[in-house]
Amino acid sequence: MTLREILILGYQWADAHALAILVAGFAWSLGGALLARLGKSGRSDHDGRMIASVVVGGAVLLVVAAALAAAVAYVAFDSGPLDANALLLLTPIVCVLVGVFGIRRVFPLSELASVRTLGDLVWFALACVAMLWLLSKFRGWGVAFFGGLGGLVLIGLMAAVLLRVLYRRAFR
């Protein structure tokens, strides 16, 4: 069995069980918010915060998995999101929205470790994209037209320090 056949069988299974997958995504978020509420009402709210972080992190991982699946479908099978089952496309959105709104009613999102980590990862990714964009502007001897070699070295050092700080924050 080839990888292509495995991917096709996986999508066919998900397409056949799309409603159950949507209900499971909704139940993950709503059940997690209710469990976080129960954990908050205990002796300390540490358990509730941990449950809330896991729920938000799981919802974000579902969105990442859906984006990766859409990218694989586009690259490997030449099909876009308009060719996919609408319930499968709706599941990550419902999971994140219900999860974030439900958890937000229990805890402020800024107090959750998974939200802070996600923010650090986003800032790191944006800094990497900005660095790649900046480096794409320097082609060959075009450095002389942008402000000189000294400016390039200074900008490169500042970008390297920024990336190092963001990397340590995101992956510590």
- In terms of average pLDDT, the best of 7-11, 16-20, 164-168 is 16-20
- In terms of average pLDDT, the best of 8-12, 117-121, 161-165 is 8-12
Contact 53, 39 (CB under 8 A): no
Whether the pLDDT of residue 142 is over 60: the answer is: no
Helix residue ranges per DSSP H, 41-112:
46-77, 86-104
Segment 118-140 mean pLDDT: 78
Q: Cα-flanking dihedrals φ and ψ of residue 124, to 5°?
A: -65, -45
Residue ranges per domain, the chain? 1-108, 112-172
Closest C-alpha among 6, 8, 15 to residue 89: 15
User: How deeply is 129 buried, as exposed, middle or buried, from its count of CB atoms within 10 A (0-12, 13-18, 19+)?
Assistant: exposed
For the stretch 12-71, pLDDT in tens is: 999 999 999 999 999 999 998 888 888 887 777 778 888 888 888 888 889 888 988 888
Segment 141-150 mean pLDDT: 58
Contact 83, 15 (CB under 8 A): no
Check residue 138 and give its pLDDT: 67
Give the range among 32-41, 67-76, 94-103, 134-143 with minimum mean pLDDT.
134-143
Helix residue ranges per DSSP H, 105-148:
113-136, 143-146
Beta-carbon contacts of 68 under 8 Å, excluding residues fewer than 6 positions away, are none
**CA–CA separation, 131 vs 167, rounded Å?**
14
Check residue 107 and give its pLDDT: 83
Segment 111-123 mean pLDDT: 82
